[in-house]
């Protein structure tokens, strides 16, 4: 089939057709699209969300997803957000990282509870579409908490305006790393969300290529995150106030494990 090199007009046409229909519909566009600024302006103006990866589900398997594929999905989001942020603009089109497969136990989902929580953390942090994608007849208590946790949904409200960006521990750079940090925000009051993760050994598509095994200590300094001052830190999934931190965050994480922290600048609390 001979196709013209530029089909961007189709997205514009779909957008106009939806507007003329008078119905509320979302337009979600493909992941294999040119992300140079010229075309991204078209996608951002005419669509609601953009796929950052192909389907992540296990084809022809008895479980939903594998961890190696999740590593790929997270790195594809990293590539997406670093490209978009290089245009120096506020994101107006949400990333679609495909379905959340976090509602069921490992025998159904294909991933551990630790990995399920890491998926939910990253989809929330990225302001991605939260499409459940689980067996709704077989949800367990852990999965229900991931999907309905009030503190986590509060974070999702924040990251809808400030999707997280990667900040390598030790440098603040944006490359793929097994031991990674992310920050969403800060906003004008200094509020921010921080994710710290140990993705475990690269299973082939993670982008970082390292194979550190076991529990790792990760230290993330304020300079890495691009913030300064004193922050009250709340561990979202644990429901714990960690008190005031002045210079850094340090955490020990096993393979596939992550933490989701909600930070509030102490100056704004006075």
Report the pLDDT value the prediction gives residue 2, as an integer from 0 to 100: 72
Which pair of tokens denotes residue 32?
């294999």
Q: In Å, how far are 85, 127, 234, 235 from 50, measured between CA atoms? A: 15, 12, 31, 30
- Count CB-CB contacts under 10 A for residue 214: 8
Is residue 163 within 8 A of residue 184, CB to CB? The reply is yes
Report the pLDDT value the prediction gives residue 86, as an integer from 0 to 100: 87
Q: In Å, how far are 64, 140, 177, 259 from 93, measured between CA atoms? A: 27, 32, 25, 26
Report the alpha-carbon distance of residue 101 to residue 110 in Å, rounded: 9
- Count CB-CB contacts under 10 A for residue 7: 9
Which pair of tokens denotes residue 34?
């040119």
Report the pLDDT value the prediction gives residue 87, as an integer from 0 to 100: 82
Report the pLDDT value the prediction gives residue 7, as an integer from 0 to 100: 85
**Beta strand 94-96 with 49-51: parallel, antiparallel or unpaired?**
parallel
Is residue 185 within 8 A of residue 162, CB to CB? The reply is yes
Report the alpha-carbon distance of residue 113 to residue 115 in Å, rounded: 5
Report the pLDDT value the prediction gives residue 1, as an integer from 0 to 100: 62
Report the alpha-carbon distance of residue 19 to residue 70 in Å, rounded: 35
Which pair of tokens denotes residue 244?
């005031």
Return the half-sphere exposure (C-beta side, CA atoms, 13 A cut-off) of residue 125: 30
Report the pLDDT value the prediction gives residue 267, as an integer from 0 to 100: 77
Bond prior to 186 in cis (omega within 30° of 0)? yes
Contacts of 32 (CB under 8 A, 6+ apart): none
pLDDT tens-digit readout, 144-203? 999 999 999 999 999 999 999 999 999 999 999 999 999 999 999 999 999 999 999 999
Q: Is 247 exposed, middle or buried (0-12, 13-18, 19+ CB in 10 A)?
A: exposed
Integer distance in angstroms from the first to the last C-alpha of the chain? 65
Report the alpha-carbon distance of residue 220 to residue 170 in Å, rounded: 7
The residues of the chain scoring below 50 in pLDDT are 270
pTM over cut 0.85: yes
Report the pLDDT value the prediction gives residue 269, as an integer from 0 to 100: 52
Report the alpha-carbon distance of residue 191 to residue 226 in Å, rounded: 13
Report the pLDDT value the prediction gives residue 4, as an integer from 0 to 100: 74
Q: 199, 141, 129, 187: which is closest to 161 by C-alpha?
A: 187
Is residue 127 within 8 A of residue 268, CB to CB? The reply is no
Q: 73, 57, 147: which is closest to 104 by C-alpha?
A: 147
């Amino acid at each position: 089939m001979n196709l013209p090199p530029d089909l961007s007009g189709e997205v514009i046409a779909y957008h106009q057709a939806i507007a003329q229909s008078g119905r509320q519909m979302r337009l979600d566009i493909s992941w294999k699209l040119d992300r140079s600024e010229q075309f991204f302006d078209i996608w951002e103006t005419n669509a609601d969300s953009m796929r950052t990866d192909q389907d992540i589900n296990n084809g022809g398997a008895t479980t939903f997803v594998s961890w190696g594929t999740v590593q790929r999905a997270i790195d594809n989001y990293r590539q997406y957000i670093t490209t978009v942020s290089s245009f120096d603009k506020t994101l107006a089109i949400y990333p679609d990282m495909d379905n959340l497969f976090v509602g069921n136990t490992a025998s159904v989902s294909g991933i551990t509870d630790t990995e399920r929580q890491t998926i939910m953390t990253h989809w929330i942090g990225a302001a991605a579409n939260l499409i459940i994608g689980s067996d709704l007849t077989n949800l367990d208590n852990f999965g229900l908490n991931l999907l309905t946790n009030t503190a986590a949904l509060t974070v999702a409200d924040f990251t809808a305006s400030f999707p997280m960006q990667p900040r390598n521990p030790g440098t603040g750079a944006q490359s793929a790393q097994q031991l990674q940090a992310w920050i969403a925000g800060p906003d004008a009051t200094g509020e921010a969300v921080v994710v710290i993760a140990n993705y475990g050994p690269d299973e082939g598509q993670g982008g970082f290529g390292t194979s550190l095994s076991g529990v790792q200590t990760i230290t993330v300094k304020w300079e890495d995150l691009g913030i300064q001052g004193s922050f009250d830190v709340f561990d979202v999934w644990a429901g714990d106030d960690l008190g005031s931190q002045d210079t850094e965050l340090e955490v020990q994480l096993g393979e596939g494990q992550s933490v989701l922290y909600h930070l509030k600048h102490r100056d704004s609390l006075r």
